[in-house]
């Protein structure tokens, strides 16, 4: 628009955070339209906020903008007390919605609207990388650091904690200091089942929902509770419940609550097709730390071309609708594959409209954990070419930025070929397989790298077995001159787990991966 | 929250107390107990001592008396602290009153 009229821009959460950070660093206020309802009724969705640099003194009751260490998003809440910085509180009567504020509008200062005041910041850390599919490389569960901001005081009484009770934000837990010094399994994944109600073409694990043999091998609720007790004793705090489709288990509620009652912060990955009123009530009363739903398509034809189950699209829409009607907004994500590539822009738009905070997609497909040749051929047929992957990554600004950040952190000359692992699997995380197997990560299914938790304790697996896996060395000098010396490793899907799935050897380069990493390098460093 | 010295309280089943690096960390399980998604709660040493004594049998008066003796503190001060902390915990539904 011209003639002094306002011009609106839409930003992704990461871009908005950077815009805010850089604007405030220059001492300049930033005005933007709020998204979300966590401060309703004081700040409504769409209200214009002005964030200004932090004043010399911050008071309880001030409205502050901050970067959430949990998800890296900018959130706006009320400060309820000060202890080395702001202690924040969401708006009255609402569960915080993890609101980012993507609808940024640069305006000259002076318009009506809430005024906010921003503080300095510590550098943000530990965002999950869009480049590395493996969460361990990006440090998914590690805490970020907050940029704290303050705003003009508005209505509402601040809440003060009793002096003997202190709120503690996750990044401030003493656990982190210990974890840096010693091996503490801060996080683990729990595959509740390999079975799924869908039959997705690209899936690396799914078995038929009615597979009696697989069902018989699954951990029981009592076994899972025992493992959760052991994990908590080892210091675990995060537990990601995944599958297969975890809601397929009739005892899901029992298992979920058992994990929570061990003091774990439980997240759930689901396709949402089996979300019924019972699950909604469970999540309303006992919210998961994170709830992530994969969107395979936004039309029935595309969705069911991926899932190969008639009626699944309707169940997905109904399940997502039940969650949203109950005020539960999951994070939405997508896989980019041959069968839905034509619809990816619409999928992304749908996800950005409905997601709790941000949207991410993955254009790289794993091969099967069970190395089933027939299913692997189906997955290979769904893989996008390096040119296609780069094209979709180029079109997504936040993903491109994430790749660039990863590129800036490229490991110098790989790891020198000394060991196979570039990630933190087995150092601060592990996976419990659906059949009771202990794995450093879900994808590391090489039998030489797994052990059976039914024949031993988690303590033994973590303390004794995991280090032997981490210490496995390449077979010969070839690795040292290939992936072990490659400075594109952070742009590559290669890791010993994926190498095994692709080639049957943990130290073997994968040709297609090299091509993809090189194409990505050209994207971000033309 | 009307918390009386004659009342008895126990930890709610919707909160888990974990000992991490020597600190008692309270992990809320249910919605509406905490203020933020990335926030847990920790008790200082005297708060932790109060928490351990909230067994659903002892009255708060007995808890305060035991703590005053253990810490050699003025009983009136300890009673005030116990009442304040338990009121805060009760407001957050982290403890529940046990009918006598």
**In A, which residues are within 8 Å of B87 by CB distance?**
162
**Would the CB atoms of A70 and B37 count as touching at under 8 Å?**
yes
Helix-, strand-, coil-residue percentages of chain B, each rounded to 5: 40, 25, 35
pLDDT of residue A424: 87
pLDDT of residue B21: 73
Q: What percent of chain A has pLDDT over 90?
A: 53
Residue B80 near chain A (CB below 8 Å): no
Nearest CA in chain A to B45: A164
Nearest CA in chain A to B35: A89
Domains of chain A: 13-172 (no CATH), 188-384+428-442 (3.20.20.70)
CATH topology of domain B9-97: Arc Repressor Mutant, subunit A (1.10.10)
**In B, which residues are within 8 Å of A38 by CB distance?**
none
Higher-pLDDT residue of A416, A40: A416
**Would the CB atoms of B39 and A167 count as touching at under 8 Å?**
yes
pLDDT in tens, A264-303: 999 999 999 999 999 999 999 999 999 999 999 999 999 9
Strand order in the sheet with A48-53: A86-89, A74-82, A63-67, A147-151, A114-121, A48-53, A30-33, A103-104
Higher-pLDDT residue of A81, A164: A164
pLDDT of residue A91: 33
Residue A159 near chain B (CB below 8 Å): yes
ipTM above 0.85, yes or no: yes
pLDDT in tens, A352-368: 999 999 999 999 999 99
Lowest mean pLDDT among A42-56, A76-90, A365-379, A481-495: A76-90
**In B, which residues are within 8 Å of A156 by CB distance?**
none
Of A82-96, A414-428, A467-481, B50-64, give the range with the top mean pLDDT: B50-64
**In B, which residues are within 8 Å of A263 by CB distance?**
16-18, 25, 27
**Would the CB atoms of A287 and B25 count as touching at under 8 Å?**
no
pLDDT of residue A135: 41
Give the DSSP H or E segment for A176.
helix A175-181
Q: What percent of chain B has pLDDT over 90?
A: 62
Beta strand segments in A140-273, E: 147-151, 165-169, 187-191, 195-196, 207-208, 238-242, 265-270
Interface probe for A, chosen from B20, B38, B89 (most Cβ of A below 10 Å), is B38
Q: What percent of chain A has pLDDT over 70?
A: 70
Give the DSSP H or E segment for A76.
strand A74-82
For residue A46, pLDDT beyond 90: no
pLDDT of residue A65: 76
3-state SS of B3-32 is: CCCCCEEEECCCEEEEEECCEEEEEECCCC
pLDDT band at A214 (very low <50, low <70, confident <90, very high): very high
Closest approach of chain B CAs to the CA of A255, in angstroms?
14
pLDDT of residue A134: 44
Lowest mean pLDDT among A66-70, A222-226, A443-447: A66-70
Interface probe for A, chosen from B13, B30, B35, B36 (most Cβ of A below 10 Å), is B36
For residue A420, pLDDT beyond 60: yes
pLDDT of residue A106: 29
pLDDT of residue A57: 57
pLDDT of residue A368: 97
Lowest mean pLDDT among A19-23, A193-197, A441-445, A455-459: A19-23
pLDDT band at A118 (very low <50, low <70, confident <90, very high): very low
Domain ranges of chain B: 9-97
Taking alpha carbons only, the member of A386, A393, A403, A390 closest to residue A491 is A403
Which one of B36, B47, B87 has the shortest CB-CB distance to A88? B36
Computed over every residue of chain A, the mean pLDDT equals 78
Closest approach of chain A CAs to the CA of B25, in angstroms?
9
Instruction: Name residues of chain B where pLDDT drops below 50.
Output: none
pLDDT of residue A401: 80
For residue A102, pLDDT beyond 60: no
pLDDT of residue A446: 97
Which one of B22, B23, B29 has the shortest CB-CB distance to A261? B29
**Would the CB atoms of B47 and A165 count as touching at under 8 Å?**
yes
Interface probe for A, chosen from B16, B25, B35, B51 (most Cβ of A below 10 Å), is B35
pLDDT in tens, A443-467: 999 999 999 999 999 999 999 999 9
């Amino acid at each position: 628009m011209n003639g002094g009229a306002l011009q609106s821009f839409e930003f992704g959460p990461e871009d908005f955070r950077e815009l805010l950070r850089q604007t405030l660093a220059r001492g300049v206020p930033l005005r933007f339209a709020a998204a979300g309802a966590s401060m309703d009724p004081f700040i409504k969705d769409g209200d214009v906020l002005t964030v200004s640099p932090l004043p010399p003194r911050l008071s309880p009751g001030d409205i502050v903008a901050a970067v959430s260490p949990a998800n890296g998003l900018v959130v706006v809440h009320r400060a309820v007390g000060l202890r080395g910085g702001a202690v924040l509180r969401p708006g009255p009567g609402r569960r915080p919605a993890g609101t980012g504020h993507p609808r940024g509008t640069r305006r000259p200062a002076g318009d009506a609207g809430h005024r906010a005041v921003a503080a300095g910041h510590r550098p943000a850390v530990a965002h999950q990388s869009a480049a590395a599919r493996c969460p361990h490389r990006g440090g998914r569960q590690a805490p970020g650091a907050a940029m704290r901001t303050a705003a003009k005081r508005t209505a509402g009484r601040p809440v003060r904690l009793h002096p003997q009770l202190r709120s503690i934000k996750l990044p401030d837990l003493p656990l982190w200091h210990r974890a840096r010094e010693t091996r503490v399994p801060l996080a683990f994944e729990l595959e509740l089942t390999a079975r799924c109600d869908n039959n997705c073409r690209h899936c690396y694990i799914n078995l038929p929902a009615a597979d009696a043999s697989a069902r018989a091998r699954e951990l029981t609720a009592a076994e899972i509770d025992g493992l959760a007790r052991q994990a908590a004793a080892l210091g675990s705090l995060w537990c990601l419940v995944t599958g297969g489709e975890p809601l397929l288990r009739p005892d899901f509620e029992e298992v979920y609550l058992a994990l929570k009652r061990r003091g774990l912060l439980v997240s759930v990955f689901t396709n949402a097709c089996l979300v019924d009123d019972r699950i909604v009530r469970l999540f309303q009363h006992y919210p998961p730390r994170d709830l992530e739903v994969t969107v395979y398509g936004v039309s029935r034809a595309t969705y069911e071309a991926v899932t190969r189950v008639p009626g699944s699209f309707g169940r997905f829409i109904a399940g997502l609708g039940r969650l949203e009607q109950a005020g539960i907004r999951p994070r939405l994500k997508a896989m980019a594959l041959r069968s839905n590539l034509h619809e990816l822009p619409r999928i992304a738009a749908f996800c950005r409209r409905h997601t709790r905070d941000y949207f991410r997609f993955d254009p790289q497909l794993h091969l099967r954990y069970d190395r089933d040749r027939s299913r692997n051929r189906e997955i290979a047929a769904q893989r996008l070419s390096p040119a296609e992957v780069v094209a979709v990554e180029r079109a997504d600004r936040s993903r491109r930025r994430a790749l660039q950040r990863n590129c800036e952190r490229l490991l110098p000359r790989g790891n020198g070929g000394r060991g196979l692992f570039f990630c933190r699997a087995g150092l601060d995380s592990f996976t419990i397989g659906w059949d009771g197997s202990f794995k450093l990560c879900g994808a590391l299914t090489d039998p030489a790298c797994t052990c059976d938790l039914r024949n031993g304790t988690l303590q033994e697996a973590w303390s004794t077995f995991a280090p032997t896996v981490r210490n496995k060395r390449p077979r010969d000098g070839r690795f040292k001159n290939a992936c072990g010396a490659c400075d594109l490793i952070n742009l590559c899907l290669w890791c010993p787990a994926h190498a095994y799935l692709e080639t049957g050897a943990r130290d073997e380069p994968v040709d297609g991966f090299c091509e993809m990493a090189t194409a990505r390098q050209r994207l971000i460093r033309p | 929250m009307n918390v009386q010295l004659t009342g008895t309280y126990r930890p709610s089943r919707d909160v888990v107390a974990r000992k991490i690096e020597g600190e008692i960390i309270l992990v809320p399980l249910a919605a509406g107990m905490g203020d933020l998604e990335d926030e847990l709660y920790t008790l200082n040493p005297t708060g932790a001592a109060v928490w351990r004594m909230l067994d659903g049998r002892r009255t708060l008066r007995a808890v305060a008396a035991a703590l005053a003796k253990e810490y050699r503190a003025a009983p009136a001060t300890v009673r005030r602290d116990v009442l304040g902390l338990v009121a805060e915990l009760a407001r957050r539904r982290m403890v529940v009153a046990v009918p006598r």
